Amino acid sequence: MVGHCDVDAVILTGGTDTALAMLRNKPNIDLYAETGGKNATIVTAMADRDQAVKNVVHSAFGHGGQKCSATSLLLLEAEVYDDPGFRRVLCDAARSIRVGSAWRLESRLGPLIRPPSGELETALKTLEPGESWALLPRQVEGNPRLWTPGIKWGVQPDSVTHRVEFFGPVLGVMRFESLDEAIDLVNQTGYGLTSGLESLDDREQETWKAGIRAGNLYINRPTTGAVVLRQPFGGMGKSCFGPGMKAGGPNYVAQFMRFTARPVQAPANRIAAALASIEQACNEEFLVVHDHFRLLGQDNFRRYLPMSAMKIRIHQDDSDFEIAVRVAAAKAAGCEVVVSAPADRVPQVRAALDAMGGTIAARIIPESDQDLAESIRAGSVARIRFAALDRVAAEVRSAAATNGTCVCDAPVVAEGRVELLWYVQEQSISLDYHRYGNLGSRATESRAVSG
């Protein structure tokens, strides 16, 4: 059904392999997919360790570890990892979870959606080099769907436990020496749905927020349970296909709409109006951090991150307006911009940018469709912006389908609030800043009383 000629767009919540299979089957389909991930929580020596255990156990084993946002990788700073008391408390907390039929009121971990198979079954039954069982999972009551939590200690970088999403009640634990090392280990998975940090140190929180590549960030709280608008939901990397406008956020519906520009008499006025609109949208929306609720004890920020390796593709039918506005929007959003153009169109691109008084500069490279397709397959392009759907070459579509590179081909518009959506990724950050109800130095802030 997905590959049928009458299907224009697909919204998917599922696996990365499923999304790629859909794209390869029909490269020109509009696919909007949230595809799970290898979600990690980092616990530093500056964490409240009891709070960390509570949040990690809830994140890893609530719903049997079958939520797409569940923590399946735990990274502990050396001081915490080497503390036998922390390990004991973590394992005791996981061991205390009551596993049983969903019909029993005392059950806190019910049956899995199906008997474990493939990578999940292997993870529940075997260890990789360097690993040991801190808590051995076991089948309950002879039911192949009922499993107690499992905790693997000593997970090694680049191992299956490090990189593969199991989607079940298995938690892998890794050791790190510095926060930068931990951030690198998390980003190496290639996924980027949710990520957690347990630390009371403001400096560590800022370092982590700047380095982690994930759509939903959680500080000193569980990584599951996103609420509409409070924590709009969606990921990055292998956790996202399409433009990634977050579900439950103010932009989600925009990606399914087709906007029509209002006519402006003179082309020069049209470009000037677009640049002014882009500047206004940046100042009011895209370069601003938003908290719509201002809850007492909890920050919920929504912000935009510029796309890295953003490529603007020029077609022979592109107008000066379509060239100038795309480059201006990408630069305003903070992207690393590369303008890709057939060799015979490079002079037009330079002229279009020069016509704006030299206020906008960009790197321009001569590139055929075949060259562009090769760079996409090589993974050097994060996102491509075309000026129209019918200007995307078939070989470029096919190349993008091989690895899920997002091709944005909506018409270019002068409205900055719309156009800028194609050059950014949204990120949600949720921080419990209270400690057991104590607001500390922030007690005098004007906040909402409840959610």
Quick check: is 34 catalytic?
A: yes
The single residue of 5, 34, 121, 284 carrying the catalytic annotation is 34
Q: How many CB atoms lie within 10 A of CB 263?
A: 6
Question: Residue 51 has which token pair?
Answer: 């709070």
Give CA–CA dist 145/143, Å, rounded: 5
406-408 and 383-385 beta bridge pairing: parallel
Question: Higher model confidence: residue 28 or residue 266?
Answer: 28
Q: What is the pLDDT of residue 353?
A: 85
Give CA–CA dist 275/124, Å, rounded: 56
Per-domain boundaries in the chain: 39-225, 257-427
Half-sphere exposure of residue 371: CA atoms within 13 angstroms, side-chain side: 9
Mean pLDDT over 252-271 rounds to 80
Q: What is the pTM of this model?
A: 0.94
Secondary-structure percent of the chain, ordered helix, strand, coil, rounded to 5: 35, 20, 40
The single residue of 5, 68, 206, 282 carrying the catalytic annotation is 68
For 257-427, CATH number out of 3.40.50.300, 3.90.1150.10, 3.40.605.10, 3.40.309.10 equals: 3.40.605.10
Q: What totals of helices (H) and strands (E) does the chain contain, helices first? A: 14, 19
Q: What is the pLDDT of residue 269?
A: 81
- 39-225 folds as Aldehyde Dehydrogenase; Chain A, domain 2 (3.40.309)
CB 311, CB 381: distance < 8 Å: yes
pLDDT digits (tens, 9 = 90+) for 185-244: 999 999 999 999 999 999 999 999 999 999 999 999 999 999 999 999 999 999 999 999
pLDDT digits (tens, 9 = 90+) for 21-70: 999 999 999 999 999 889 999 999 999 999 999 999 999 999 999 999 99
Q: What is the pLDDT of residue 141?
A: 87
For the cut 90, the answer to whether the pLDDT of residue 261 exceeds it is no
pLDDT digits (tens, 9 = 90+) for 235-251: 999 999 999 999 999 99
Q: What is the pLDDT of residue 253?
A: 94
Question: Higher model confidence: residue 272 or residue 398?
Answer: 398
Q: What is the pLDDT of residue 352?
A: 85
pLDDT digits (tens, 9 = 90+) for 73-131: 999 999 999 999 999 999 999 999 999 999 999 999 999 999 999 999 999 999 999 99
**Which string of DSSP letters, residue by residue, matches 346-408?**
HHHHHHHHHTTTT----EEEE--HHHHHHHHHTT--SEEE-S-GGGS-HHHHHHHHHHT-EEE
Give CA–CA dist 438/299, Å, rounded: 15
Q: What is the pLDDT of residue 262?
A: 73
Q: What is the pLDDT of residue 308?
A: 86
Give CA–CA dist 128/164, Å, rounded: 13
pLDDT digits (tens, 9 = 90+) for 120-159: 999 999 999 999 999 999 999 899 999 999 999 999 999 9
Give CA–CA dist 57/54, Å, rounded: 6
Q: How many CB atoms lie within 10 A of CB 348?
A: 17
pLDDT digits (tens, 9 = 90+) for 293-315: 999 999 999 999 999 889 999 99
Beta bridge partners of 151: 135, 171
As a whole number, the mean pLDDT across the chain is: 94
